[in-house]
Amino acid sequence: MTWIPDPLGAGFYHRFISLHDDQFGPNRACLVTYLPDQRPVSPSPVAGAAPVAVPRPKEPFAVLALHGWNDYFYHYEFAHQITALGGHFYALDLRKYGRAHLEGQMWGYVEDLSTYDEEISAALDLIYDAHGLGVPVFLYGHSTGGLTATLWANRHPGVLRGLVLNSPWLELQAATAVRQAGQPLLDALHKMVPTAALPISDDGFYQRLVTGWMSEEERAEFRERQHAAGQPDDADPFFREGGWNPNPDYRHYPTFPIRPGWLRAILNGHEKVAGGLAIDCPILVLTSARTHFSDTWSDAMRRADTVLDVEQIWKRVPGLGAVTTLVKLEDAIHDVLLSRGSVCHQAYWHIGHFLGQYLGA
């Protein structure tokens, strides 16, 4: 298959990767890349987030990104930042997600996270074909994709130069004890009705964050502040109307149905992480500095992780491997790379510094 222009715009391309059928039918993944030379102009769309001021790594390198649950790749600024540092940027839409979804498929459904080894391996082969077998590769994962990337790195020693995790889902939000107590029930449901939709609701708060939602009063006050400061209303995607503009065909509200077979795969992954891993490459973990769970919307949600308990993530980081770095970002949301511009700039600085540290700069 060939690369075709991607809807993200100039410089972005994608190609499909054929995968083995599962019990439900055919599968495919979609690999996205960004070629800055194909973009006529490339000012940063995020206020204050021009290419980060870190030394450019001495070696060329590649980054392969994995998205989270109910998600797909649309983080154009991430691609801009990596290529500005001299890297080759790639991102996977995993099977049954985003661009890769086929009509009739259950969105995001797998029963074992190691299933994704097939598309990750195929993507790496394409990266090596394009840039040589010796190109250093950094694997990146967000949330559920962070769990997938973590387990993959543990199963594949000697492959990665580094692992970058953005709010990885390393443990159940409630607690380890809750996961352990609920496992027998989930195992039973998996045997009886693995694909039944569980009665889990979506409060829509995180959807508000990634789409820049504000009340009419908030929007009016925001515009007044921007005009007083001489700034345009759309200077920062986090605050503009529409936010980061995720495609509603790929990022759903309400979220995809959660099914016992899929949730069991997640909890099995959590159990592996809890037992301790031995990832042999350096690991960078980025999270918000705090969690904010509430049944009622508030502005505090714009400055916290409203999806995962960051303290549960922090507890797991030391057990991932021998070399780990944890960064807690003030005012970050769950996907730190979709936070306000000032937070994004900090996140990209840490990522750039991490890349340079293990590539030479």
pLDDT in tens, 278-331: 999 999 999 999 999 999 999 999 999 999 999 999 999 999 999 999 999 999
Q: Could you tell me the pLDDT band of residue 184, with boundaries at 50, 70 and 90?
A: confident
Decide if 260 contacts 189 (C-beta within 8 A): yes
For residue 203 the two structure tokens come to: 């409060």
Residue 325, SS3 per DSSP: strand
What local confidence, expressed as pLDDT, does residue 42 receive? Answer: 44
Residue 259 CA, distance from chain mean position: 21
Q: Residue 98 and residue 248: Cα distance in Å, rounded?
A: 10
Residue 13, SS3 per DSSP: strand
Greatest distance between any 2 Cα atoms in the chain: 61
Place of tokens 């995968």: 19
Q: Could you tell me the pLDDT band of residue 181, with boundaries at 50, 70 and 90?
A: low
For residue 233 the two structure tokens come to: 């209303």
pLDDT at 46 over 60: no
* Higher pLDDT pick, 234 / 332: 332
Beta strands in the chain (DSSP E): 4-5, 12-22, 25-34, 61-66, 87-93, 137-142, 162-166, 283-288, 324-329
What local confidence, expressed as pLDDT, does residue 47 receive? Answer: 41
* Higher pLDDT pick, 175 / 360: 360
Cα-based distances in Å from 199 to 11, 119, 185, 259: 41, 30, 15, 9
Decide if 152 contacts 92 (C-beta within 8 A): no
Q: Could you tell me the pLDDT band of residue 49, with boundaries at 50, 70 and 90?
A: low
Buried b (16+ CB within 10 A) or exposed e, 287-299: bbebbbeeeeeee
Q: Could you tell me the pLDDT band of residue 120, with boundaries at 50, 70 and 90?
A: very high
State yes or no: cis peptide before 254, omega within 30 of 0.
yes
Cα torsion 270, 171, 31, 12 to 10°: value is: -170
Q: Could you tell me the pLDDT band of residue 175, with boundaries at 50, 70 and 90?
A: low
Decide if 1 contacts 29 (C-beta within 8 A): no
pLDDT > 70 fraction of the chain, expressed in percent and rounded: 94
What local confidence, expressed as pLDDT, does residue 39 receive? Answer: 62
pLDDT at 48 over 70: no
250-279 per-position pLDDT tens digit? 999 999 999 999 999 999 999 999 999 999
* Higher pLDDT pick, 231 / 45: 231
DSSP 202-261: --SHHHHHHTT---HHHHHHHHHHHHHTT--TTSSTTTSTTTT---TTTS-SSPPPP-HH
pLDDT at 40 over 90: no
Decide if 316 contacts 145 (C-beta within 8 A): no
Sign of the C-alpha dihedral computed for residues 120, 147, 168 and 353 taken in this order: negative
Q: Could you tell me the pLDDT band of residue 43, with boundaries at 50, 70 and 90?
A: very low
What local confidence, expressed as pLDDT, does residue 30 receive? Answer: 99
Amino acid at 64: L
Decide if 88 contacts 32 (C-beta within 8 A): no
pLDDT at 11 over 70: yes
Q: Residue 257 and residue 234: Cα distance in Å, rounded?
A: 33
Decide if 26 contacts 323 (C-beta within 8 A): no
What local confidence, expressed as pLDDT, does residue 179 receive? Answer: 62
What domains are there in the chain, each with its CATH number?
Answer: 4-198+261-358 (3.40.50.1820)
Q: Could you tell me the pLDDT band of residue 189, with boundaries at 50, 70 and 90?
A: confident
What local confidence, expressed as pLDDT, does residue 41 receive? Answer: 47
Q: Residue 75 and residue 68: Cα distance in Å, rounded?
A: 12
What is the pTM (predicted TM-score) of this model?
A: 0.95
Specify the DSSP class assigned to residue 294: -
